[in-house]
Structure 1
Amino acid sequence: MPVERRRGAALVLVNLMVLVLVPLVLYLLVNTVASLKHAYKEKQLGMSGALANAALVDFMRQFSQNYYEGHYDAASLSRNEPFYSAGFSSASTEADPAGHRLYIEAAGKYGKDPAHPLADKTLYSAVQFLSDLTDYGTMINGAFTISASNITYFGKWWITGNLSITGSNVRFAGGPLIVGGNLSVTGSNVAVDGDVYYAGSVSGSPAVNGTSYNFYPSDMVYPALKEDYYKVNYAYKITSDRTLRFNAYPSSGTFSIVGTTITVPLLDSGMIILGENVNLSVYGAVRGRVTVATTNTSASKGAITVGLSNADADLVYYNPLTGGTTTSALYGNSIALIASNGIAFQGKTTNPAADLTACGVFFNRGSGNISATGGSSKKLYVYGTRNKPVTLSGFGGGNSMSYDVWLNASPPPGLPERPVLMTWHMR
């Protein structure tokens, strides 16, 4: 083949390669650069989201370390704009103390200049503060045997140890049954209207109208109340044995110390009454939110009794719609009794005897059960929550334990509250 012809064929081949390879190389180069830009931008946005999340985690860490304070006040919620190796984060909050909620808007900014970030993300979240003392109808620290028959428990039921049910016709209604140990059922017709969580094993055949989980949630930590908190944050202190009568009026609430001329208005923001090394009795109609707490240095002090033996003395709430009373915290009225050395329900036993109605959060820090004494044919009605079994003496008409769902919405003041993340939205 002549040299000129070979050169012409080679030139054609080179031209074809240029026409095919150059566009291909350019295409690959453009797409590679675009992919790198997208990957880098995705990394920037991911880091921005991580910085916003870090701000929220810092709030949750703070709330988890102190269940009593720092949930709503501006000083505890304020944050400086911290600098990280990748950028900055900031947070703003809106507190709703009445609703026990906190709204958090956290921003993450990637780059060295927070005023001109390379990428940014904003996290919108809502935290609800709930107290186990109002969230569980019954919670018991330790083991317990239910020997009574024909009884219904309303609300969530939580026990940290073994639960043995020997009674018949026992029903758990309105929430899960959470058992920190073994669940043993020998009684007949035992039913759970909800899910069951247990850490150990189950023996017997309870009817579970939900799902059974051989699992005990790791965040189930029995609440430890801080006595010093009530010693520091009380609004009124009592230093001798007294009987308190709560009085409700259309526009205010008070309590009177029986046998004296002392009447004290209840604070609109909620009020803690401290009984220091004393025994207290309480009854009446509560208007407002109040907590009565006792301490004791003497073994015979620190008890709180609901009711009187010589008078019909229920503990109920004011109903603003009727001007009468109600057994529900629906209208924003609530009470908690936190006794260092025992809680007792005392019905009227003098002739004629009467039933006893007691409303509120009943938390006995002492070692014994809650006791109840009443007429032989009368009945005990409890609306609210409790942390101990109730031992009956008298009250031949039995007892009724009803959970008050409105205590979560209008809890008494000074209860430990855990943070629950309700919403989380990143954009």
Structure 2
Amino acid sequence: MARRRGIALVMVNLMAVFLVPLVIYIVITSNAHLKTSFKEKQLKMSGSLASNVLVDFMRQFSQSYYEGHYDSDTLSRNPVFYSAGFSSVSTEADAQNHRLYIHAAGQYGKNAASPLADKSLYGAVQFISDLTDYGTLIDGAFTISADNVTYHGKWWITGNLSISGDNVTFMGGPLIVGGNLSVTGSNVRVNGDLYYNGTLTGSPVVSGTRYNFYPSDMVYPSLSDTYYRANFNYKTTVDRTIRFNAHPSSSSFSLIGTTITVPVTEAGMIIYGENVNLTLYGTVRGRVTVATSNTSGTKGKITVGLSNQSANLLYYDPLTGGTTTSAIYGNSLAVLASNGITFQGKTTSPSANLTACGVFFDMSAANMTATGNSSRQLYIFGTRNKPISTTFGGSVFTYDTWLNSFPPPGLPERPLLVTWHLR
């Protein structure tokens, strides 16, 4: 019996030697894992609190494409208390380059001064207007019947696109078709990705990827007359012919037929014509937007150029003191007409080509028009939202990539989250 008790005691001692440390190890390890799990939960919650701030900003920007992007009053946020913790944010607006930098902090715990966990979010939002981002954007159906045509820049049409012309090329961005795409012309090329919502007929050559898909966030832009009515720098209520004047250190525009000359503000200028027709030409220095409204069916039109003299619409080139067709030096123009845009070339002898630079957006139901000699050419550098019915002998459309970097003032802009990280 004594021997058995001795053996039992030995077994108990052995179990104590091996099991007790094992139990202690399990308890310590479990406790460490539990603490780690709690810490991960706290950090995730802190990250969620910081991310909520960014979501709130994007919601705000999506509600208005015109205002509240750079104003300190609309960007300011008081620290927010949640049941799990707190969030706060600071912002830095760069209105010149149309960017917003965001630093949001999420803190888990009941005491903001001594949180159990915290996370910081760093993000950058770039505001871009569809009016400058797409070389051509058309609301409705469109047919390309001309041969040997090259389109530069992104192409977006909300309806059906029919291409019957030969040697038609899309360069510099995706072709986005909201309806059916029908290609009957030969040697039609898309040097980029192709998106189409309906059916594809024909065999275009696509260098990128084909998607039978139309992005759900593709909403055709609309302009707000209320915004321009409230935010203009100069307003006219009578028909005017406006000549832009550029100088090495200043810029202005003259009202032809009067002695009035108006300086162009460095921060950007909106010229608003209320129920009037306007004619534009000259050299633009700075960022300018010209917008019209109309209550009469014969008003709200904008004409670019003159019939009795060569009257191009160009940008100032500070390097040469001459002119350029690119917004590369920070000069840009938007022509926003409520009731039609006409490009008018010189038709008196000797006739001349017409060159026009800018963002051309026509809110009327009709096509844009161009009037010129059949032996002359129309050159447009920038973007447009309508087909152009023309009497010129030919037309050349060139997308200006610098319009995204130096957009004219007062265009509707959508927010793009270009960078975002937590740490």
TM-score category of the 2 structures, normalised to the smaller one: over 0.9
Select the residue among 412, 418, 422 that pairs with 1:416.
Answer: 412
Determine the C-alpha separation between the residues in 1 that align with 2:87 and 2:342. Answer: 52
1:52-91 equivalences in 2 (<5 Å): 52-91=50-89
The reply to whether residue 256 of structure 1 matches residue 233 of structure 2 is: no
Question: 1:374, 1:181 → 2: CA distance?
Answer: 33
Name the structure 2 match of 1:190: 188
2:216 pairs with 1:222 = no
> What is the correspondence of 1:17-56 to structure 2 with a 5 Å cutoff?
17-56=15-54
Q: Pick the aligned partner of 1:304 from 298, 302, 313.
A: 302
Q: Which residue of 2 aligns with 1:112?
A: 110
Q: Which of 274, 279, 299 pairs up with 2:277?
A: 279
Q: CA deviation at 1:90?
A: 0.5
**What is the aligned partner in structure 1 of residue 343 from structure 2?**
345
Deviation at 1:329, TM superposition (A): 0.3
Report SS of the residue matched to 1:45. helix
Q: Amino acid of the residue matched to residue 417 of structure 1?
A: E
| Paired AA for residue 23 in structure 2 | V
What is the CA distance between 1:286 and its match in structure 2? 0.2
- Write out per-residue CA displacement over residues 319-349 of structure 1, whole angstroms, 9 at most, x where no aligned residue: 0000000000001100100000000100000
Q: Secondary structure at the match of 1:79?
A: coil
Q: Secondary structure at the match of 2:81?
A: coil
In structure 2, distance between residues paired with 1:420 and 1:123: 16
- How far, CA to CA, are the matches of 1:318 and 1:5 in structure 2? 110
The answer to whether 1:390 aligns with 2:388 is yes
> Which of 317, 323, 326 is equivalent to 1:325?
323
Q: Which residue of the partner structure matches residue 379 of structure 2? A: 381
Find the aligned partners of 1:89 and 1:363 in 2 and give their Cα distance. 42
Q: CA–CA distance in 1 between the matches of 2:374 and 2:145?
A: 20
Match of 2:356 in 1: 358
Give distance in 2, aligned partners of 1:211 and 1:315: 38
The DSSP-based 3-state class of the residue aligned with 2:417 is strand
In the TM superposition, residue 18 of structure 1 has moved relative to its aligned partner by: 1.2
Deviation at 1:7, TM superposition (A): 1.2
Please state how far the C-alpha of 1:5 moved relative to its aligned partner.
1.2
Q: Which runs of 5+ in 1 are unaligned?
A: none
- The answer for the alignment partner of 1:163 in structure 2 is 161
TM-fit CA distance, 1:102: 0.6
Match of 1:403 among 381, 396, 399: 399
The amino acid that maps onto 2:36 is H
State the 1:73 CA deviation: 1.1
Task: Give 1:189 shift.
Answer: 1.0
Give the whole-Å Cα distance in 2 for the aligned partners of 1:14 and 1:229.
87
CA distance in 1, matches of 2:277, 2:147: 33
Q: Give, in angstroms, the shift of residue 14 of structure 1.
A: 1.1
The Cα of 1:62 is off from its aligned counterpart by 0.6
Q: TM-score, normalised by structure 2?
A: 0.99
Counterpart of 1:234 (choices 232, 235, 248) is 232
CA distance in 2 between partners of 1:149 and 1:344 (Å): 24
Q: What is the alpha-carbon distance in structure 1 between the residues aligned to residue 14 and residue 237 of structure 2? A: 104
Residue of structure 2 aligned with 1:136, choices 134, 137, 141: 134
Which amino acid letter does the alignment assign opposite residue 333 of structure 2? Answer: I
Amino acid at match of 2:150: T
**How far off is 1:9 after superposition?**
1.3
Task: Report the secondary structure of 1:137's partner residue.
Answer: strand
Q: Which residue identity is paired with 1:212?
A: R
The size of the alignment, in residue pairs, is 423
* Unmatched tracts of structure 2, length 5 or more: none
| TM score, norm. by length of structure 1 | 0.98
- Quote the Cα distance in structure 2 between the aligned partners of 1:376 and 1:218: 42
Deviation at 1:21, TM superposition (A): 1.1
Percent of matched pairs sharing the same residue: 70
Q: How far apart in 1 are the matches of 2:408 and 2:96?
A: 11
Question: Counterpart of 2:89 in structure 1: which amino acid?
Answer: A
Quote the Cα distance in structure 2 between the aligned partners of 1:251 and 1:111.
57
Q: Quote the RMSD (CA, aligned, Å).
A: 0.6
| Structure 1 stretches of 4+ moved >3 Å | none
Residue aligned with 1:217, SS: coil
Measured after TM superposition, the shift of residue 370 of structure 1 is 0.8
Distance 2:243 2:401 in 1: 25
1-structure distance, mates of 2:303, 2:166: 31
**Which letter does structure 1 place at the counterpart of 2:399?**
Y
Matching residue's letter, 1:121? K
Per the alignment, in what secondary structure is the counterpart of residue 89 of structure 2? strand
Aligned counterpart for 2:209 among listed residues 178, 197, 211: 211
Question: What per-residue deviation string (whole Å, max 9, x for no partner) do you get for residues 183-203 of structure 1?
Answer: 000111111110001111100
2:241 match: 243
Per-residue CA deviation, residues 112-132 of structure 1 (Å, 9 max, x unaligned), is 111111100001111100000
Q: What do residues 401-426 of structure 1 show as CA deviations (whole Å, max 9, x unaligned)?
A: 00000000110000000000011121
Distance 2:47 2:202 in 1: 50
- 2 CA distance for matches of 1:389 and 1:148? 12
How far apart are residue 13 of structure 1 and its match? 1.3
